[in-house]
Structure 1
Amino acid sequence: MKILVTGYTGQLGYDVVHEGRRLGLEMVGVGSKDLNITDEVAVNRYVTTVHPDSIIHCAAYTAVDKAEDEKETCWNVNVNGTKHLANAAKEIGAKFMLISTDYVFDGNGEFPLVEMDCPHPLGYYGLTKYEAEQIVQKLLENWFIVRISWIFGVNGKNFVRTMLHLSETRSELNIVGDQVGSPTSTKDLSQLLISMIQTNKYGIYHATNEGFCSWREFAEEIFRLADKKVKVNSITSEQYAARAIRPKNSLMSKQKLVDNGFKPLPHWKDSLKRYLESLTLEVK
């Protein structure tokens, strides 16, 4: 199987390509410098030339706060880029997987969200990802939409690396405590995505590591495992005052994965421990 992966220079795309290669699959990773997905002609030419059996679309405009001001850029990448790739996939008969986000939901309520819950994005980034989901469902028959959250991986910036960096100069931090979700290892997630794309079990899925926590609890576990003496104070979303509103409840049920025979991802604390160990080896 030949699999084209967009967003190869990002956290998830990088791990998806390397996981596929580890399993002996023919992986083609492409980044923004290699292909401008907002250029319909370029996308058609590239996809037709590569002619993959499947496309895993990880590339996205993910600057959540900047998206509120850079709306045209965000729309072009997340909506038009997805449309161009989906049309190209349809033309050659390739399976298509869109990586989406918990930000398509408004985060109201206390219970884990299921795949068929009605999206209601609070910010522009979430809106564009929901629009991309609708485009994929409208244009294609053989599609997967996988909603993920709070990812961390070896290739790029993330919350874990930011906390470790801040711990070098700070002994006390204020971290949001009223947003709850599931930290997710891109290494674990990439294994699931590669497994999924080789099946015909199409549809919308929620895919995160097991377990839930707040950003404050996530930070505390990072510092505990890394043996960093940092006091973490809990603040509200309103006190943090970000440009874009985030959903407070990003709990997502993964029961559909189990029902379709996919193995649940490990608990986020286990994955975080392995990730920190890999960073230690990276430094050495």
Structure 2
Amino acid sequence: MKITVIGSRGQLGQDLCTRLIEEEHQVSGLTHQQISIEEASSVASTLSETAPDLVINTAAYNKVDQAESEPEVAYAINALGPRNLARYCQEQQIALMQISSDYVFGLDLTRQAGYREQDAPGPVSAYGLSKLAGEYFVRALCPQHYVIRTCGLYGKAGKTGNGNFVETMLRLGRERDSLSIINDQHCTPTSTRDLAEALTRLISTDQFGLYHVTNRGQTTWYELARKVFEIAGIEVETSPITTEQYNAAADRPRYSVLDCSLLEEVTQYTLPDWQTALENYLQS
């Protein structure tokens, strides 16, 4: 299959390209310098050159707090960008995979069970709203679509690029004597290597639709940080705090664990639990 990966230098983009090539797909990667998804003309001219059977969009505006002060920028990249891709792919009868986020949830403060694909979304931030809008555009405009919700990504490209939560904790754990970390946001951090494996399997099924894809289990950012320090052998004093105490510009879901049973049913593949994934990442 001829596949074009947009955002090929990002954490997920790099791991996806590697895994797809291993499966002998013909892969072309595009960076932001090569395609501006916010511009329909850029989408059309660039994708006409790569002529793919499938487009995978991993590009996104991920500055969650900054999106509160510049929602129009987040919307342009996370919503209008996918809309441009969906329109082009529909016209050319190309399949489209759009990567979305667990941040489309968060409004339900009593939630204690993993969200399934049919559960009603409810974002609590400008970023979450922009990602949900992108989902709706893709699902409405492009019949051959995969929309993938995932969570808390970390991968090897984060070591040299913009970083990720795991790399940030490794750095801060070595720099400081004590850290205060949020302990009331429940989610499932996910390895981009494991996610790439799952997505590679999914595209071989031609079972289009909306999917939740994360590692298994759930944790909090505080518990994740503690596990990072334990595996890495870093001694640092840690204190759990609430979302309100941290006082970030954007609100976050208190519970955004995703139920991935649909993916497992379709692909016959189960991602590793988050602890195993983290150990594999830190040991590699």
TM-score between the two structures when normalised by the length of structure 1: 0.96
Distance 1:115 1:244 in 2: 24
The 8 Å contact of residues 202 and 267 in structure 2, kept in 1 or not, is answered as no
Distance 2:279 2:177 in 1: 22
Give the corresponding residue for 1:281.
none
Task: Compute the displacement of 1:111 (Å).
Answer: 1.2
1:231-252 Cα shifts (integer Å, max 9, x gaps):
2110000001010000000111
Larger mean Cα displacement after TM superposition, 255-264 or 229-238: 255-264
Distance 1:188 1:85 in 2: 25
In the alignment, structure 1 residue 234 sits paired with structure 2 residue 236: no
Q: 2:179 aligns with which of 162, 173, 176?
A: 173
Distance 1:85 1:29 in 2: 15
Task: Compute the displacement of 1:259 (Å).
Answer: 2.2
Give the corresponding residue for 1:245.
251
Give the corresponding residue for 1:115.
117
Task: Compute the displacement of 1:34 (Å).
Answer: 1.1
Give the corresponding residue for 1:82.
82
Secondary structure class of the residue paired with 1:242: coil
Give the corresponding residue for 1:55.
55
Give the corresponding residue for 2:231.
225
Distance 2:67 2:268 in 1: 34
Point out where structure 2 has 5 or more consecutive residues left out of the alignment: none
Distance 1:195 1:61 in 2: 26
Q: 1:146 aligns with which of 129, 133, 148?
A: 148
Secondary structure class of the residue paired with 2:263: helix
Task: Compute the displacement of 1:186 (Å).
Answer: 0.0
Give the corresponding residue for 2:218.
212
Deviating 4+ runs (over 3 angstroms): none
Q: Which amino acid aligns with 1:133?
A: E
Give the corresponding residue for 1:189.
195
Distance 1:41 1:22 in 2: 32
In the alignment, structure 1 residue 274 sits paired with structure 2 residue 276: no
The 8 Å contact of residues 40 and 84 in structure 1, kept in 2 or not, is answered as yes
The 8 Å contact of residues 8 and 29 in structure 2, kept in 1 or not, is answered as yes
Task: Compute the displacement of 1:262 (Å).
Answer: 3.3
Give the corresponding residue for 2:10.
10
Secondary structure class of the residue paired with 2:251: coil
The 8 Å contact of residues 48 and 88 in structure 1, kept in 2 or not, is answered as no
Distance 2:175 2:128 in 1: 33
Give the corresponding residue for 1:159.
165
User: How many percent identity over aligned positions?
Assistant: 37
Distance 1:63 1:254 in 2: 26
The 8 Å contact of residues 95 and 143 in structure 1, kept in 2 or not, is answered as yes
Q: Which amino acid aligns with 1:29?
A: G
Point out where structure 1 has 5 or more consecutive residues left out of the alignment: 279-284
Larger mean Cα displacement after TM superposition, 42-51 or 179-188: 42-51
Distance 1:22 1:97 in 2: 19
Distance 2:105 2:132 in 1: 9
Distance 1:203 1:92 in 2: 19
RMSD: 1.0
TM-score between the two structures when normalised by the length of structure 2: 0.96
1:150-189 Cα shifts (integer Å, max 9, x gaps):
1100112100000000111212110000001101000010
Distance 2:219 2:241 in 1: 15
1:48-97 Cα shifts (integer Å, max 9, x gaps):
22110101111110100001111121111111111111111112211111
Q: 2:270 aligns with which of 254, 257, 264?
A: 264
